[in-house]
Chain A
Amino acid sequence: MTGFDAGEVVRPFVITAGRTQPVRDELRVETLVTAQPAALAAPLGFERHRIVELCQYPRSVAELAALLAVPLGVARVLVADLAAERYVRVHERAAEDVSVALLERIRDGLLRL
């Protein structure tokens, strides 16, 4: 489903039904997200389920966008939705205690976009 000649199977606008405005604004590329423990069993579909799977340990929004192969704007809408529904937790204090490893992952994610 990645950048192949034929392109994406699912066009990105379908994933959010055309929405581009996240329900919360404070999500930045480096904001870390962690899934709530019960979220794996929740009835979530497609990318939302994948995000919960990927966020078993903290992931940045940029990383998620790269792994899901969706535009950053789409990843922000999805994460904001999941956070609003309390399936994921958004780490507000991202800037304070970032590790080198986390910074590298964010950089990689941004490069892959």
Chain B
Amino acid sequence: MHKLRSIRHRLALLLALPTGALVLLGAVGTAAQAGRFADAARTGDRVALVVATEEFVHQLQRERGLTAGLLGGEESFRARLGPQREAADTARRALDRRLAADPPGAERVRTALGGLSTLAGLRGRADTGAADRAEALRFYTAAVTALNAAALADRDTTGDRRLADALATLEALSRATEAAALERGTLSGVLAAGSFRGGDYPAFVRITADRGAALAEVPRTALPERTAALDAALRGPAAVAAAGMEQQALDGWAATRLPVRADAWWQAATELVDGLYVVQSQAAGDSSARAGELRSQALRALLVDAGLALAAAVGAVLLGLLATRSITRPVAALAVEAEELADRVLPEAVERAQAGDRAATPGSAAAAGTAELEVLGAALDRVAGTAVRLAVEQSVLRRNTAQSLAGLGRRNQSLVMRQLGLLSALERGEQDPAALASLFELDHLATRMRRNAESLLVLVGEASPRRWPQPVALGDVVRSALGEVEDYRRVVLRQVDGVLVDGGAVAEVAHLLAELIENALAASPQDADVEVFARLGVDGCLIVVMDRGPGLDESALDRANARLAARESFLVDGGGQLGLYVVGRLAERLGAVVRLAPAPVHGVTATVALPPALLADGVRQVPAVGVAG
């Protein structure tokens, strides 16, 4: 679940549903278009099948006419019949290839083709003259009729009006052509025989009537140019001649010898049939063109739909990304600003405020875009403003506290100094050792009180007013420090080089050492000494205060050193060990470095490195050993 914790993921989840729905809708629409495209493709295949079937039918019709003529006795047809059978077989093979792809309606066409299984036998009998003319006509006609019916059944699958019209035109024309061809075949046979026999005449009349009816149907659905072409074919010289011969045949129905030559009739009728077939082929072409058009329309629609669906999905994703960015970007910017505010701007402003700049205000965080984020930015600004105000108030409070403490410390110190001056005067003339001892006790107490007063001044950041105009020997500085601790008799000065300390720094160096020595004394057992060394080095002077206590472990030493290095005010720090804090402040002011480290055997060593600036060039004094006696 934690993956959803970012705004980006939640927005993605939120947008996933509508985007998914959109994609689904697009997919459904595209699938419907794909279905229509498949329908259109099937229609195209079916129309192609119709065209192939009609071509085969056309060739069969010609073969029928020639066969009928031959069986009627017209031997001149025998030479033409061979190539015509070839043409029919070629058309049949083309149709079979078309059927192999199994387009819609293929089954019916195959069934209709079943009627032609005995074609080879019939051809053979026709060649030998064993077949009857009427039987041959029936055979061919049945096959042609079945094929026409199979090809043109169930013709409007797409609901497209123009395709339906084209197919209807094709059907009407195919019927007209069939009627014309049948008429040609029938009359060829009749003319070859010389006269109408048996049912020839009624059949012929019915055929002419069928042709007329089929031709009359054509203009209802045909395109104007097809109607015109049909008219042209029907009014052409061959058509007129054929119509004339036909009329002569009809008129001479009872004659024993019709005044029409069979080959002339064949010629004219064939031209008419071919003309009709040309129009029929054009109508078939119209159907194919329309089917192709429908197919490409469906393809276009499919592509458009798919493209739209894809564009919608991509658009939705892009919009989602944009929306996400439009939210996450300002939030991220605000987060960066807030971090900047917390890490840099606010601390700096607080620092400025504490340095006394009352007008300190942090920079504005309100850089966001949306209303909610602006509110958030404004709230951050207010937080920053409140923090700075609090810092200002606190710094004022701290300054006031420090000033009060400084005033107290100064008064306290001046009183103690006056007391010490008085004590010095009394001590100077005192002859009685016992009275002097009492004065010394008082002196020791007053000296320690002075150190306390000065600690207070150090804590509030004030300098000691005690300064000497001339340099002071380091040994005397150390002894000055000894006067400021309680149990100074336990301190041993092991080795103190004759270094002179600048008069202005004497009081503070002594104070620093006093604090360290007091810590060392507190840490040492009662019967152990605290040793002090002071050596002049290349880089200033090193003073070492070594105790014999149990020592400190590493973390305690780290804490103590941290307190030495502390920069915070003791008012903030909550002074547990004020002594170390005072040492740190003094060292900072003097430019000295104070470190606590484990002593060689046990205990703690405090090392003070006084910089050369604090030392005065002067006569090296004799090394001093011991405090007194």
Contact residues, B48-82 vs A (CB, 8 A): none
Number of A-B contacts (CB under 8 A): 108
Which of the residues B428, B475, B506 comes within 8 Å of A46, measured between beta carbons? Answer: B475
* Residue A58 lies at the interface, judged by CB distance under 8 Å to chain B: no
The residues of A that contact B623 with a CB separation of less than 8 Å are 43
Q: Are A9 and B431 in contact (CB under 8 A)?
A: no
Contacts known (A4-B469, A46-B624, A113-B429); A11 close to B443, Cβ less than 8 A? yes
Contacting residues, chain B, for A6 (C-beta < 8 A): 465-468, 507
Rounded to whole Å, the gap between the CB of B436 and the closest CB of chain A is: 4
B625 and A43 within 8 A (CB):
yes
Complex partner residue of B436 from A1, A43, A73, CB under 8 angstroms: A73
How far in angstroms is the closest Cβ of chain A from B311?
Answer: 92
Q: Decide if A100 is an interface residue (CB 8 Å cutoff).
A: no
Q: Which of A1, A3, A73 contacts B431 (CB 8 A)?
A: A73
Residues of B within 8 A of A81 (CB): 629
Q: How many interface residues does chain A have, given as a range?
A: 20 to 34
Point out the residues of chain A lying under 8 angstroms from B488, CB to CB.
14, 17
Give which listed residue, A4, A9, A18, A72, contacts B440 with CB less than 8 A.
A18
Most chain B CB neighbours (cut-off 10 Å) among A9, A14, A22, A71: A14
Contact with A along B506-523 (1 / 0, CB 8 A): 110010000000000000
Given contacts A9-B477, A14-B479, is CB(A73)–CB(B627) below 8 Å?
Answer: no
Contact with A along B471-500 (1 / 0, CB 8 A): 010011101101100001100010000000
Distance between B327 CB and nearest chain A CB, rounded to angstroms = 70
Decide if B475 touches A45 in the complex (CB within 8 Å). yes
Q: Is B205 an interface residue (CB 8 A)?
A: no
Known contacts A17-B629, A73-B427, A73-B431; 15 additional CB pairs below 8 A are A7-B421, A9-B477, A9-B480, A10-B476, A10-B479, A10-B480, A11-B443, A13-B443, A19-B629, A20-B434, A45-B626, A49-B624, A65-B428, A71-B427, A73-B436
A/B interface sample: 27 pairs, CB < 8 A: A1-B476, A4-B468, A4-B469, A6-B466, A6-B468, A7-B420, A7-B421, A7-B466, A9-B476, A9-B506, A10-B476, A11-B483, A12-B424, A12-B440, A14-B479, A14-B627, A14-B628, A17-B629, A18-B441, A18-B489, A20-B433, A20-B434, A45-B626, A46-B624, A72-B430, A73-B431, A81-B629
A residues apposed to B, CB below 8 Å:
1, 3-4, 6-22, 43, 45-46, 49, 65, 71-74, 81, 113
Measured CB to CB, the residues of B under 8 A from A are 417, 420-421, 424, 427-431, 433-434, 436-437, 440-441, 443-444, 447, 465-469, 472, 475-477, 479-480, 482-483, 488-489, 493, 506-507, 510, 622-629
